[in-house]
Amino acid sequence: MNAAQDQVALRHQFQVKGGPPVVQSVTAKLPPPPEPMCGPAQLAAASKLIVRRDAGLGDCLMILPTLTAIRQRFSQLEVVFQAPAAYTALLEGFAEVDEAIALNESPAGQPGPEMLLVDLSNYMERHPQAWQRPRIDLVGMAFGMASVSHAAIYHPTPQLLRQAKEWLTTHGCRAPTRIALALRGIYGHRSWLAPYVFELARRLTAKGRDVLIFDADAHAPQCPRPRDLRQTGSVISAYGLELPLVAALLAGCDAAVVPDTGLLHLAACVGLPFVAIFGPVPPQLRLNYYENYRCLTAEKKVACVPCCEGPRHIRCSYECLWEITPSMVETALHQLLSQANPSYSAKVTNGFCGKPAF
C-alpha cells in the first residue's frame, strides 16, 4: 500500500493502542505565499471581494472574523465566499457574507480593480508562521490587517429552530439536558477515538442526559446498545445532516465535546460551551479568541506532541488521543457546566441543569 492509500485508510480507522507513533515529515514543495495578498488600499478601491478557500469547515469558519473586520472598515464591499458546496448554505447565514458560491461556480462579473479575488487555498498551510501564529491571525495577515478578536456569530433562523425542534421530537430527545459529541473529523489524527466517544455517551445517558452524536457520513458507525436499560437518557445519531440544521441543533444543546474539527468552530459560532480535545496540533493555533471552553491535550504525556499535521501523518498509533480518556472528558465537561451554571453542582445527582428547550 502506498503512502496516499495508507493515509485514506487511516482517515476513518482507529488503530489498536501500542507502540510509539511513527511520523514521517514531508517538506512543503510550494513556495511561501505573498504577504499580504492584498492591502487596505485595494480593499478601499474595490466594490466586491471574492474570498476563495478550498479546505475544511473549520478553516472556512476561521476566515469569518477577518471578514467582519473588513466589513466594518470597508462598508462598500460586497463579500462573496467561494467554498466547498457543502458549506455554502451555512456560510450565507453569517452576517459577514453577502453570497456563498461553490468552488466550481464562477463569480459574477469580470476581474478588475473593482472586484478582488483572494484565493486563500493553501495560504495558511504554506505560511512560514503556520505553526507559530493562530490561524485566525494568519488570515488577517493575508489582508494586511488584524482580525477581530472573537469568533464569528451564527444565528439560526426561526425556521431552522423549528426544524431542529421537530427533528429532536421525532428522534425521542426528551431529557432536560443535551450534550453534542463529534464522532470523527476528516482525519484520524484530529479525531477523538470512536470507542471513547461511545463510552462517554454511555456515561452521560446513564446520568439522564440526551446525547447527540454528529458525523458528516450518514452511514457512520452506530453507538452500541446500552446494557443497562435503566438509563434515562438517549443516544441519537445526527449523521449526514445539512450544516444549517447541525448549527440549529448545536444552538439547542447545553455543551459539546469536540476534537480539532469543524464542529469545534461551529460550536464557538453558536455560543455553545465546549470541551476541546487536541492530539498533535497545538491548541493555541485554533482556540485563540474563543471563549467558554475547556481544552484537553496530551502534550505533557506524549513526547512527540505537537507534531506534523494533515497528510504528513503517514503512520501513527494516535497515542496522544488514547491518553485523553472518557473519564477525563466527563470531568472537564462537569467543570465547564458548573462554571456556566453554579446551580449545576447542587443538582448533578439528578442530571444537568439544562437550558430551556427550543
Q: In this predicted structure, what is the pLDDT of residue 334?
A: 94
Q: In this predicted structure, what is the pLDDT of residue 279?
A: 86
CA torsion, ordered 142, 144, 146, 152, to nearest 10 deg: -40
Dihedrals phi, psi of 4, to nearest 5 degrees: -65, -45
Half-sphere exposure of 262 (CA within 13 A, CB side): 21
Q: In this predicted structure, what is the pLDDT of residue 313?
A: 46
Q: In this predicted structure, what is the pLDDT of residue 342?
A: 52
By CB atoms closer than 10 A (0-12, 13-18, 19+), residue 291 is exposed
Amino acid at position 101, single letter: I
Q: In this predicted structure, what is the pLDDT of residue 6?
A: 30
User: What is the reported pTM?
Assistant: 0.84
Q: What are 253's three cell numbers?
A: 444543546
CATH 3.40.50.2000 location in the chain: 40-142, 158-350
Q: In this predicted structure, what is the pLDDT of residue 231?
A: 60
CA torsion, ordered 317, 323, 327, 329, to nearest 10 deg: -90
Pick the CATH number of 158-350 from 3.50.50.60, 3.40.50.1100, 3.40.50.2000, 3.40.640.10: 3.40.50.2000
Chunked into runs of 10 residues, the chain (358 residues) has average pLDDT values of: 30 33 42 82 93 94 94 94 96 96 85 84 88 91 85 94 95 90 85 93 93 94 74 88 97 96 96 93 89 88 68 62 93 89 44 41
By CB atoms closer than 10 A (0-12, 13-18, 19+), residue 107 is middle
**Letter string b/e over residues 346-356, b meaning 16 or more CB atoms within 10 A of that residue's CB:** eeeeebbbbee
CATH architecture, domain defined by 40-142 = 3-Layer(aba) Sandwich (3.40)
Q: What are 195's three cell numbers?
A: 470507542
